[in-house]
Amino acid sequence: MSFPLLTATAALPAIGAIATAAVPAARRTAAKWLALLFSLATLVLAGIVLARFEPGGARYQLTESHAWIKDFGVRYELGVDGIGVALLALTALLIPFVILAGWHDADPLETKSSRWRPTQGFFALILMVEAMVILSFEATDVFLFYILFEAMLIPMYFLIGGFGDRAHSGSDENAAAQRSYAAVKFLLYNLAGGLIMLAAVIGLYVVAGTFSLSEIAEARANGSLSMATGTERWLFLGFFFAFAVKAPLWPLHTWLPNAMGEATSPVAVLITAVVDKVGTFAMLRFCLQLFPDASKWATPVILVLALISIVYGALLAVGQRDIKRLIAYASISHFGFIILGIFAMTSQGQSGATLYMVNHGISTAALMLVAGFLITRRGSRLIADYGGVQKVAPVLAGTFLIGGLATLSLPGLSPFVSEFLVLVGTFSAYPAAGIIATTGIVLAALYVLVLYQRTMTGPVKAGVQGMADLKVRELVVVLPLVALLIFLGVYPKPLTEIVNPAVQHTMSDVHKKDPQPEVEAAK
């Protein structure tokens, strides 16, 4: 293509971030609208990318390749497969809702000082994260991906620590300390993973002589590249560790509840529905493609870790008293399902895992954003401070229920399709793992329904009386997400047609085929 569509899709929010940051201090409303317009324009470009993508065509499409650091063989190399384009579209879709939901989140920080512009900074950082995440889904050069993988931590650190949740039960000083702790923990965990990955990236270059996925694949195909078993395994572990931290996978998950709890609800959505998807996406694109033998070698251990994530995250969600931390632990359980599907090494499992990335992003965004609207009204994150909300704010309660039902994968809503495929794909290859994973479904029903019962039903508590229902801006945020949950739950074909060819390529990378049914079909 003469027009660099993939570059433009990532560059537009980056330009928007710079433009938003440059808006004068007194024009903060203009800054909000400017950020929203850039996010909508990015969504339009993402729609064009989706329309131009041909599911049955080449593995990587709309490719771009330019020399960057010639001495080290680093290239600015982009391309999207079905998995990458689906997650690119998810990111572009969610950011306008994140911006609208966070419309007033920076307002309490506004002062008369002309130097400190929190509103401009808040929305500029969101757009910068969007640019880096989109480009990471497009990068087919390992070094370029690594730079983006690390760079997105910087704006996220400031979003968590500088623009944290004001609905805190303690003093202002204690709240600030908690936000700072959560931001630093997020940064240190992910930096540690990134540094280990850097060593593996350098090792890959020493072995392969290139960072390009296409060149490495070509060298493997013609037999000019071979890795010693030990070398491949060490390199795989370096990559996987970084991705497992980002995902997050037990026991590397502990930063997520702190980060989501202390961040504003829109930023919490940005963390778990957008940024964390880079980790699971990278397991498919880099771990399985670059190190197929090591991926199969590590599968038993990874499946165990994924099962622990599923059950452990769900159990802790059941016992939470904080609404946002409950959703965070539920996300840990859901990421366990995603990783289980990836390493089940079946086409159903990997298709389900990819669909789960998309559907989890939509369902978690719906639930967390409605929870954010609820918390803003009451000024508390504690479940015990709520009760009887459905009597005073029925629309809010109704949308909260739909988001919760999607989280527990109710049939008819989009996460059900994903979870079903993951379980089918896992059970066909690892029956015991599939059986254990189903406990996560039972526990999800428990923590979601108990959360709804304690917050929305029963007598109206004192702090809930007079609570306003969802306003127009909030309905604009929530209703499209609810509509998507229903549409993709009833008709997932648009997603599966895009994802399935890419999954077949990944299965081919690891030289795996789906297990044959033990019982022959009747003739």
Q: Assign 67 to helix, strand or coil.
A: strand
208 by Cβ neighbours in 10 Å (0-12 / 13-18 / 19+) ranks as buried
pLDDT of res. 171: 54
Region 422-439 average pLDDT: 91
Residue 507 has pLDDT above 90, yes or no: no
Angstrom CA distances, 19 to 13, 48, 124, 378, 518, stand at: 10, 23, 8, 34, 60
pLDDT in tens, 21-63: 888 877 888 989 999 999 999 999 999 999 999 888 888 888 8
Instruction: Give the pLDDT band (50/70/90) at residue 67.
Output: confident
pLDDT in tens, 345-383: 888 899 999 999 999 999 999 999 999 999 888 888 888
pLDDT of res. 92: 95
Helix axes 153-162, 118-138, angle to 10 degrees: 150
Residues whose CB is less than 8 angstroms from the CB of residue 18 and which lie 6 or more positions away in sequence, other chains included: 124
pLDDT of res. 75: 86
pLDDT of res. 381: 87
Angstrom CA distances, 53 to 64, 187, 498, stand at: 14, 35, 9
pLDDT in tens, 190-230: 999 989 999 999 998 888 888 888 888 888 777 777 788 88
Q: What whole-number distance in Å separates Cα of residue 389 and Cα of residue 401?
A: 12
Between residues 208 and 123, which one has the greater pLDDT?
123
pLDDT in tens, 89-111: 999 999 999 999 988 877 777 66
Give the rounded percent of residues in the chain with a pLDDT score beyond 90: 49
Residue 116 has pLDDT above 80, yes or no: no
Neighbour tally for 143: CB within 10 Å: 23
Amino acid identity, position 240: F
Is 286 within 8 Å of 239 (Cβ atoms)? Answer: yes
Amino acid identity, position 299: T
pLDDT in tens, 448-471: 999 999 998 888 888 888 888 889
H or E element in which residue 335 lies: helix 323-343
pLDDT of res. 484: 94
Region 70-74 average pLDDT: 80
Q: What whole-number distance in Å separates Cα of residue 25 and Cα of residue 3?
A: 36
Is 458 within 8 Å of 399 (Cβ atoms)? Answer: no
Residue 512 has pLDDT above 80, yes or no: no
Instruction: Give the pLDDT band (50/70/90) at residue 138.
Output: very high
Sequence spans of domains, the chain: 5-509
Angstrom CA distances, 52 to 2, 8, 49, 135, 241, stand at: 14, 14, 5, 17, 34
Region 509-517 average pLDDT: 74
What long-range pairs does 64-68 form, CB within 8 A, spacing at least 24? 64/4, 64/6, 64/7, 68/141, 68/144
Residue 1 has pLDDT above 70, yes or no: no
